[in-house]
Amino acid sequence: MSLVRTASEDLECLLVTRDASLVDAVSATALALGVTVEVAGDMEELRGLWSTAGLRLVGPDMAARAAALPRSHGDTWVVGQADSALLAASAELRVPALALPQSSAQLAEVMSRRTDRPDPGARLLALVGGSGGVGTSSLVVGLSLLAARGGQRVAVVELAEFGGGLDLLLGLEAASGVRWKDLAGATGELGSLGEQLVTGDGVSVLPLGRERQPPPTRAAVDAVLRSLGRSHDVVVVDTGDGRHLNWLVDAQVAVVVAAHVRGVAAARMVMEQHEPVGAQLLVRTGPGATLPAEAVSHALGLPLLGVVRHDSAVPRLSGMGVGITSGPARRFRRDVARVVRGWT
- 280-335 residue pLDDT tens: 999 999 999 999 999 999 999 999 999 999 999 888 877 776 678 777 889 999 99
Would you say 46 and 149 are in contact if contact means Cβ atoms under 8 Å apart? Answer: no
* Average pLDDT taken over every residue of the chain: 86
Q: Which DSSP state fits 260? A: S
Amino acid letter for position 47: R
For the chain, the straight-line distance linking the first and the last C-alpha, in angstroms and rounded, comes to 40
Which of 13, 11, 15 minimizes the C-alpha distance to 78? 15
Q: What tens digit of pLDDT does each residue of 213-230 get?
A: 778 888 889 889 988 988
Q: What tens digit of pLDDT does each residue of 179-212 get?
A: 888 887 777 767 778 888 989 888 999 998 777 6
Return all residues near 225 (Cβ < 8 A) that are at least 6 apart. Answer: 118, 124, 157, 235, 248
Which of 124-128, 266-270, 318-322 is least confident?
318-322
Assign domain 123-343 to a CATH class: alpha beta
Which stretch of DSSP H or E encloses residue 234?
A: strand 234-238
pLDDT of residue 223: 85
Radius of gyration of the chain (CA): 21
Region 245-253: mean pLDDT is 86
CATH number of 11-113: 3.40.50.261
Same CATH topology for 11-113 and 123-343: the answer is: yes
Backbone angles phi, psi at 99, to 5 degrees: -85, 125
Backbone angles phi, psi at 218, to 5 degrees: -60, -40
Q: How far apart are CA 183 and CA 187, in angstroms?
A: 9
**β-strand pairing of 203-206 with 198-200:** antiparallel
pLDDT of residue 10: 61
Q: How far apart are CA 293 and CA 299, in angstroms?
A: 10
Amino acid letter for position 54: G
Burial of 262 (0-12, 13-18, 19+ CB in 10 A): exposed
Would you say 335 and 284 are in contact if contact means Cβ atoms under 8 Å apart? Answer: no
Higher pLDDT, 28 or 10: 28
What residue ranges do the domains of the chain occupy? Answer: 11-113, 123-343
Would you say 284 and 255 are in contact if contact means Cβ atoms under 8 Å apart? Answer: no
**Dihedral angle over CA of 246, 101, 52, 234, nearest 10:** -40
